Structure 1
Amino acid sequence: MAYQALYRVWRSQRFEDLVGQEMITQTLKQAIVQKKTSHAYLFTGPRGTGKTSAAKIFAKAINCQYSQDGEPCNECDTCKEITEGRLNDVIEIDAASNNGVEEIRDLREKVKYAPTQAAYKVYIIDEVHMLSTGAFNALLKTLEEPPKNVLFILATTEPHKIPATIISRTQRFDFKRIQITDMVKHMAHILEESHIAYEEASLPVIARAAEGGMRDALSILDQGISFSQDVLTLEDAIQVTGSLTNDMMDNYLTCCQKQETSQALIVLHELLNEGKESSRLVEDLLLYCRDLLIYKQAPSLLETQTGTVTEVFKELASEMDSSAIYQYIDCLTTTQQDLRFSTYPTVQLEVLTVKLSQITVSNNHQVSQNSVVSAEEGSLLKQLQEQVKDLQAQVAKLTNSQSNVTTEKRKESRPAIHSAKQTTYRFPKDRILLILQQATKDHLLQMKDIWPDLLASLSVNHRAMLKAAEPVAASSEGLVIAFDYEILCYRANEDEELQEQIKTSLYRLLKYEPDLLCVPVDQWLPFRKEFILKHKDELLAQAEENEPVDIPEDVLTEAEKTTQEAVHFFGEAHVEIIDD
């Protein structure tokens, strides 16, 4: 029989064989035992984490007559045929090559037929995100109202490309990246079952290179076995993965930590001459710095995970401050990103080496990239700082003086301009006084309520003009509109079309047409306050009669404020005012 790759030979056949996905396998098994399976599932996650394997195991378990605790027996004819891909009722579809509408329409036609050999007809659609928009739309109706005894399992590495309407009709399971310890344990089991000798230190190197994918790990393990002679050694794993040995990283980072830039560059070129890939080199150094940081906080955790802590590593961890390691990690992360777009990776690595070797640490204390300041230099620096502070104070004083002179000059030239500006608009005191004598708070509140509707009924230009205005006094006979800018007030007064539109809209909204008066707000506020002060007694009397009157608090005494609030809350009949 022809040789088969390890990941094919050791493909999981039971839920308990899936590595690192305990939560998902437990949920699926319980669903089968309790007979609460859904009609559609969505398996998402990185490559090589067991999505398709879990789909096939689920298809076997739900159709197996002898399943126990949700696990397939793998001995009956149904299980064997599903494992070998011969059962007609379990259909695997590769969406990458069958992504058109016609293929999904054909599936919709065939899904109507009942299963012939098994209890359930199971459709496993791999890489489902590759389906076209039309194909998804064709699949949607079937997922929404599936025939009896039909089950869909959708698998994808890119769930964000699947329409939300599809996702909402499935039970979603997110497969996570497999931990290094789990992969090492599984690979050791495979090697022992295959009677292949190996060094324990080689397996973590392969697991790290696999980046959380069990299938990738077994493929690299397959390469390592072929490359090795009789025993899979650490050196074999490093050669196959292109990773750095601990000695290489110890040597390189020791040179950087001691600020031996030239020696660090020599070590870098030796690594590159050995064929180390730039991106892999940076990634390994990044993980090494991560290990340094973890070792400083929890040494036992790191030793338990990898078992590759060397004496040089321990020395580096004790000598380097955490803040310096953070800087190392920042530099390595930036270089890792830059390498993706760089056509000169060697230059990027040389610059990285120079940067790392200029970050100095000594006796667990980080020292700045500049040399340590001596006592004499420190005294001189203090004197210079004081001189700079005195100069800054003098400059600030001169600036304030100059600003005051400029302000006085501006004030001298301003009255003529200001007075000229005031004469551009004549404030209609008599007409406004008449409106204020008849104005009520209810009319004003009513006007403010319909103000947005009024603006919406105007043309774009007129609406923009009135955006800087608001009603400030209203009665059944008149309306005062205050503008933030005098120029807009002047234009509104001169615009007959605008006034006609406002009156028409007001009649439609309120069934009356008040006369309009447009005033600048800076002239309106003083006039209003003057009017209230003159007629305060009359307004307070109206307030005591429970007539809605708007009196600003800045013109009331404390006693008047208290009286007005009491009448407002309790009513005039329940308030008695006694003069002391």
Structure 2
Amino acid sequence: MSYQALYRVWRPQRFADIVGQEMITRTLKNAIVTGQTSHAYLFAGPRGTGKTSAAKIFAKAINCPNQKDGEPCNECAICKAITAGTLNDVIEIDAASNNGVEEIRNIRDKAKYAPTEATYKIYIIDEVHMLSTGAFNALLKTLEEPPANVVFILATTEPYKIPATIISRTQRFDFKRITPQDSYQRMAYILKEKGIDFDQEALKMVAKASEGGMRDALSILDQVLSFSDNKLTMTNVLDVTGDLSQTQIDTLMGTIQANDTAQALTQLHQILADGKDEQRLLEDLIDYCRNLLVYQQAPQVIAETELTNVSDGFKKLSQTFLAARLYRMIDILDDVQQQLRFTNHPDIYLEVLMIKLSAAQNSTESKVHLDSTTAAEPAAAAPDAMVSKLEDQVKALSQQVQQLSKGTSSKPKRQNRATTSTPHKVKVNKAAIYPILDSATRQALNRFKEVWPDLMNMLSITKRAVMNVSRPVAANEHGVIVAFDYQLFFERVMNDQDLLDELKAGLNKLLGDPPEIVLVPHEDWPVIRKEYLQTDRLKSANGQSGAPAAENEAEKVPKGTKKALELFGKDIVEVHED
């Protein structure tokens, strides 16, 4: 028998074998056990996350005469036929090559006939978003009034291309990207079953290189094993994937931080001479900058997601790199990554990139350092003219302090506050938040939460890294309030109009209406919410809510309390009598 790829040999045959989708598999098993299965399902998510495998396992479990706890036995004739793809009652269709009206009409006509061997006739339509508009219309009637004993399972990587009329007639399950930890454990299990020794750090590198796809992880693993004669070492993994080793990227970033342009170019040429892929180099640098930013705010996050101990070089760089410089570096790297797709001379772009990342920052940071030095030691380093100017400022400030103590002037007070103010901080737009809260509902919030993972998948890797710490916290029909776990990412997005426009355009595609997007730090959200509820309650007490004052007094529950229950639900809001 010819050799089969790992992802085919080790394809899941039970729900328990599917990696990283516990919520979905549990729901499907419970539906089978209780007999509450639907006539149509939509499996959406990135490639290689188990959508088609879950569909086939569901087809076996719902038809298996010996199923136990929602799992197929994989021993009966029905299960074996479905696994081999020979059962006539389970039809798998590729919508990319069968996307016309006639193909769907053919399905609709044949669906009327009862299954021949199994209990249910199952139609699995893969990449369903490729269907034409006419084909979707032909499918719509069948989904709306399906024949008995027929189940449709639609699988797609781009759910936003599917008409809302189709989605509303299915039970939707969003398959998430598989974490590196889950990928590592699955591959470690496979290698142990095959009796192959492996380097743990090398296997972790494969898990991270797969970017959330189990099939991609097994394909890379298969390629490395073929390349190295069934040996899994870090050197072999780096040669196959084109990634940089931890030492290489630590050294390169350290050189950039030191503004050593000549050494940065030398290291770049060495990396390219080793055969490293240009795009992988840029992705590694972007990911490294992102990790530095996150590590500066939440070190435990990086320690958990990187599957390994953080290197000493990384820790040192996290203390020396300024956040503002990392922001600029990510912007530069993202621009070069886009340009690299349309050039035949990537080495030239990369050389210019190294100069920008190192030498271009030198003058800016030197100026910042000079300014801080001047502020700290003005009397020792400044010329006589500067000393005289500073003395005049001290006299002016002394006069303002005297006037403030007498309370005779309001203008110096404003000047004094400006002089001692904290560094500039991006402010939350409360004027845009309150109108959304006035008509916010739980249904509207759930609507945005459902499409939020799809919106993240539409973003580039760089922008997704920034937005992954955000989530919708309140919404109405025309706007959504998005909270960020960290202040620095909130400020980053507030100052990035292109990203805001892209988010609005993405929500327009997913929901058919461009909503107003208002950002808020997570730590400020409870305060703003409390202020709004207190304001709303005060308006109700003063009869300013639009209803007569007598009616407000007659109500048993104050309007502010009712609004809080409507916005956040009974599970969150606690009502205490004064």
TM-score of the two chains, using structure 1 as the length reference: 0.62
| Change in 2 beyond 3 A, CA 1:313/1:109 | same
Q: Is the 8 A contact 2:203 2:232 kept in 1?
A: no
Aligned to 1:316: 317
In the alignment, structure 1 residue 307 sits paired with structure 2 residue 308:
yes
Aligned pair in 2 of structure 1 residues 377, 78: CA closer, same or farther (>3 Å)?
A: same
What's the counterpart of residue 194 of structure 1?
194
Q: Which residue of 2 aligns with 1:44?
A: 44
- CA separation of 1:331/1:79 partners in 2, compared to 1, >3 Å: closer, same or farther? same
Distance 1:274 1:229 in 2: 21
- Pair 143,385 (structure 1): closer, same or farther in 2 beyond 3 Å: farther
1:160 aligned residue: 160
Trace 1:214-233 onto structure 2 (pairs within 5 A). 214-233=214-233
Contiguous gaps of at least 5 residues in structure 2: 393-578
**Structure-2 change in CA distance of 1:379 and 1:216 (3 Å):** farther
- Partner SS state of residue 201, structure 1: helix
1:288 and 1:62 map into 2 onto residues whose CA distance is 46
Alpha-carbon shift at residue 95 of structure 1 (Å):
1.1
Matches within 5 A, 1:60-71: 60-71=60-71
Cα deviation per residue 1:82-141 (whole Å; 9 max; x = unaligned)? 111011110111111111222112111211110110110000011111112221111111
Q: Which amino acid aligns with 2:138?
A: A
- The one-letter code sitting in structure 2 at the alignment partner of 1:334 is D
1:359–1:369 contact (8 Å) kept in structure 2: no
2:13 counterpart letter in structure 1: Q
Find the counterpart in structure 2 of residue 347 from structure 1. 348
Q: Secondary structure at the match of 2:123?
A: strand
The aligned amino acid for 2:45 is G
Describe the SS at the equivalent of 2:81: helix
- 1:170-209: per-residue Cα shift (whole Å, max 9, x none)? 1111111111111111111111111111111112222222
Residues 440-459 of structure 1: matches in 2 within 5 Å? none
Is 1:144 aligned with 2:131? Answer: no
**C-alpha separation between the residues in 2 aligned to 1:227 and 1:52?**
29
Distance 1:381 1:354 in 2: 35
CA distance 1:260–1:104, shift in 2 (3 Å) = same
Specify the alignment match of 1:326 in structure 2: 327
Give the letter aligned to residue 152 of structure 2. Answer: F
Whole-Å separation in 2 of the counterparts to 1:9 and 1:367: 58
Question: CA-atom RMSD, angstroms?
Answer: 2.6
CA contact (8 A) 1:201 1:308 kept: no
Partner of 1:26: 26
Tell me the amino acid that sits aligned with residue 149 of structure 1.
Answer: N
Residues 14 and 370 of structure 1: CA distance in aligned 2, closer, same or farther (over 3 Å): same
Aligned partner of 1:73: which letter? C
Checking the alignment, whether the CA contact within 8 Å between 1:44 and 1:158 is kept in structure 2 is yes
With over 3 angstroms needed to count, the CA separation of the structure-2 counterparts of 1:281 and 1:378, relative to structure 1, is: farther
Matched residue of 2:177: which SS? Answer: coil
Residue type at the aligned position of 1:254: G
**1:318–1:88 CA distance, 2 compared to 1 (3 A):** same
Deviation at 1:357, TM superposition (A): 1.5
- In structure 1, the residue matched to 2:119 is 119
Within 5 A, what are the aligned runs for 1:424-435? none
1:290 — aligned with what? 290
Query: Identity over the aligned pairs, expressed in percent?
Result: 59
Change (3 A) 1:121 1:269: same
Residue-by-residue CA offset, 1:19-49 (whole Å, 9 max, x unaligned): 1111111111111111111101111111111
What are the equivalent positions in structure 2 for 1:81-96 lying under 5 Å apart?
81-96=81-96
Please give the secondary structure, in 1, of the residue aligned with 2:347: helix
Q: C-alpha deviations, 1:556-576, integer Å up to 9, x for none?
A: xxxxxxxxxxxxxxxxxxxxx
Change (3 A) 1:261 1:149: same
| CA distance, structure 1, for counterparts of residue 8 and residue 224 of structure 2 | 17
> CA separation of 1:301/1:164 partners in 2, compared to 1, >3 Å: closer, same or farther?
closer
Q: Which residue of 2 aligns with 1:491?
A: none
Distance 1:83 1:201, change over 3 A: same
Supply the distance in 2 between the matched residues of 1:382 and 1:211 (Cα, whole angstroms): 58
The residue type paired with residue 185 of structure 1 is Q
Q: Distance in 2 between matches of 1:379 and 1:13?
A: 82
Q: Which residue of 2 aligns with 1:75?
A: 75
Q: Does 1:180 align with 2:189?
A: no
| 2:125 alignment partner, SS class | strand
Q: What is the alpha-carbon distance in structure 1 between the residues aligned to residue 339 and residue 251 of structure 2?
A: 24
Aligned to 1:488: none
Report the Cα offset of residue 360 of structure 1: 6.5
Q: 1:86 to 1:203 in 2, by over 3 A?
A: same
3-state SS in 2 of match to 1:91: strand
Give, in angstroms, the shift of residue 210 of structure 1. 1.5
How many angstroms apart in 1 are the aligned matches of 2:158 and 2:302? 32
Normalising by structure 2, we get a TM-score of: 0.62
Question: Residues 404-419 of structure 1: matches in 2 within 5 Å?
Answer: none
Partner of 2:169: 169
Query: Hey, what's the Cα distance between the residues in 2 that align with 1:176 and 1:126?
Result: 17
Aligned CA distance change for structure 1 residues 163 and 380 (closer, same or farther; 3 Å): farther
Specify the code of the residue in structure 2 equivalent to 1:317.
S
Confirm or deny: 8 A CA contact 1:43 1:51 kept in the other structure: yes
* Alignment coverage as a number of residue pairs: 384
Larger mean Cα displacement after TM superposition, 311-320 or 181-190: 311-320
Structure 1 distance, partners of 2:183, 2:163, is 33
The answer to whether the 8 Å contact 2:5/2:222 transfers is yes
Deviation, 1:212, is 1.1
Q: What is the alpha-carbon distance in structure 2 between the residues aligned to residue 204 and residue 57 of structure 1?
A: 28
| Aligned equivalent of 2:275 | 275
- Checking the alignment, whether the CA contact within 8 Å between 1:140 and 1:166 is kept in structure 2 is yes
Q: 1:385 to 1:265 in 2, by over 3 A?
A: farther
- Counterpart CA distance in 2 for 1:111 and 1:333 is 49
SS of alignment partner, residue 148 of structure 2 = coil
Partner of 1:210: 210
Deviation, 1:334, is 3.3
Cα deviation, 1:353-392, whole Å, max 9, x if unaligned, reads 223224769xxx97646755654457656889999xxxxx
Give, as a single letter, the amino acid of the residue that structure 2 aligns with 1:335. Answer: V
Q: Is the 8 A contact 1:96 1:131 kept in 2?
A: yes
**For 1:350 and 1:378, how far apart are their aligned partners in 2?**
41
Deviation per CA, 1:263-306: give whole Å up to 9, x if none: 01111111122222221101111222223334344445434442
Q: Matched residues in 1 for 2:28 and 2:383: separation?
A: 69
Q: Please state how far the C-alpha of 1:313 moved relative to its aligned partner.
A: 2.3
Counterparts of 2:208 and 2:387, CA distance in 1: 52
CA pair 80-371 structure 1, distance change in 2 beyond 3 A: same
Deviations 1:451-480 (A, max 9, x none): xxxxxxxxxxxxxxxxxxxxxxxxxxxxxx
Deviation at 1:351, TM superposition (A): 2.6
Partner of 1:130: 130
Change (3 A) 1:382 1:64: farther
- Counterpart-to-counterpart distance in 2, 1:303 and 1:8: 32
Q: The residue matched to 1:65 in structure 2 has which SS?
A: coil
CA distance in 2, matches of 1:383, 1:360: 33
- The 1:352–1:303 alpha-carbon spacing in structure 2 relative to 1, beyond 3 Å, is same
Q: Distance in 2 between matches of 1:137 and 1:230?
A: 50
Deviation for aligned residue 1:330: 3.3
Letter in 1 for 2:312: E
Specify the SS of the correspondent of 2:75: coil
SS of the residue 1:123 aligns to: strand
